[in-house]
Amino acid sequence: MPQAERAPLDPEMFDPVCPSPLVPFRVGDKWAALILRCLEYGPRRFSELKVPLRGVTAKSLSQSLRRLQQDGFVVREEYEGTGRRVEYALTPLGRGLLGPLDAACEWTREHWDELIDAQEVNFSGGS
């Protein structure tokens, strides 16, 4: 789909709860689930991904995208023309992770207080 037809990514698209560092399991690294979610509605350029992923450095985003490619979740496509353009898109395997990510987010919402309590106890060294 040409870039002009896609709505831009919302800078506030991520719920502070999910994906969350409190989720006890991850796909890939810290940014992987967020990247997958950004690609849910179609291919995106690197610069587009940086909008909602405000805290990611260019190096970390590049590394995460490379790992997602190696794992078969994302494909990188180069387009030639007046200006070379690169876009990232979900593969069928990557698209298959969206349902489990939704379930992980829901589970995290249901257990939010317990997860916070456990982290506070373990961080403070209490029992």
- Radius of gyration in angstroms for the set of CA atoms belonging to the chain, rounded to a whole number: 16
What is the pTM (predicted TM-score) of this model? 0.75
The predicted structure's pLDDT at residue 66: 95
- Domains of the chain, first to last: 3-118 (1.10.10.10)
The predicted structure's pLDDT at residue 25: 60
Answer with the residue of higher pLDDT: 34 or 3: 34
Q: Which of 59-63, 72-76, 103-107 has the lowest mean pLDDT?
A: 103-107
Confidence band for 115, pLDDT divided at 50, 70 and 90 = confident
Query: For 69, which DSSP code?
Result: H
Confidence band for 126, pLDDT divided at 50, 70 and 90 = low
The predicted structure's pLDDT at residue 36: 93
- Residues 14-27 have pLDDT tens digits of 665 555 555 656 67
The predicted structure's pLDDT at residue 112: 85
CA torsion angle 77 67 9 42 (round to 10):
40
| Closest residue by Cα to residue 43 from 14, 2, 98, 12 | 2
- Residues 22-46 have pLDDT tens digits of 565 667 788 898 899 999 999 999 9
Cα-based distances in Å from 66 to 5, 8, 80, 114, 116: 26, 23, 21, 34, 32
The predicted structure's pLDDT at residue 68: 94
